[in-house]
Amino acid sequence: MIDLNVEMMEITMAPKFPPSSQIIVFPARARPGGVRCEAIGVTFPIVYRVEGFSFREDGVTRGAKALLHYTLSQDDACGLTDCRWQTIESLDPWKDAVSLAIRHHPNRDRAYGYIDALMDLRRQEGHVGGSLFETPLGLFTLTAVTTEPWWPGPLMIYGAEVPARPGGPFDSDCWTQIVDNSGSHLDETILWPPENAGP
């Protein structure tokens, strides 16, 4: 589901799923978290970090290294066993080598379009997984994002489509809330490279 082929502190990400199952739909029993988009009245679900082990191909021998998996659903352990579940409001730079994008979608078509675009843009990186969660709180995707070198560390990036400002050229705007590893909220300009950065 989320695989960045990273290894930090003897913890690696959960294995990548085959392309035919890149979009996993979970009818999730989600719990509301602390992030809310007031413009559309949506509260984002709690994010879970799941740390566990997978079995080797023989189906009997447990892997030696713990794997990390991120989810919005208490029903989604990604096939891991002996799991330790932790609710997270920010990412730990010593444990989490990735950033996470948690996005609300007004409907399934928008969600599938978003995941299709991610797959097209990120296929060369090998990071094409994503999860779609249908919850009582709404429809959400969770995808791994490469932590850029100019970011202060791994970020949790929340996004939603909101009504456009009056007189604007578009029907909708993008609402974003970015949380760094200290739990502070950052301006969205942090996502773009500094002017003096190379290509």
Show pLDDT as tens, one digit a residue, over the chain (199 residues). Answer: 333 333 333 333 343 333 333 455 555 567 788 899 999 999 999 999 988 887 655 555 566 778 888 888 877 777 777 888 899 999 999 999 899 999 999 998 888 888 888 877 766 555 545 788 888 888 999 988 889 999 999 999 999 999 887 777 778 889 999 999 999 999 999 999 887 544 5
Give the count of domains, the chain: 1
Q: Is residue 174 part of a domain?
A: yes
Residue 121 lies in a domain: yes
130 within some domain:
yes
Q: Which residues contact 54 (CB under 8 A, 6 or more apart)?
A: 14, 15, 62, 63, 67, 79, 80, 81
Q: Is residue 39 part of a domain?
A: no
Nearest alpha-carbon partner for 177 in 102, 105, 65, 118? 102
- Within a domain: 199: no
Residue with tokens 């969600």: 111
Range of the domain at 186: 7-15+22-33+45-191
Q: Is residue 2 part of a domain?
A: no
Those residues with Cβ within 8 angstroms of residue 72's Cβ, 6 or more apart along the chain or in another chain: 26, 28, 30, 45, 46, 47, 48, 102, 131, 133, 135, 140, 142
Q: How far apart are CA 39 and CA 73, in angstroms?
A: 24
Does the pTM of the predicted model rise above 0.85? no
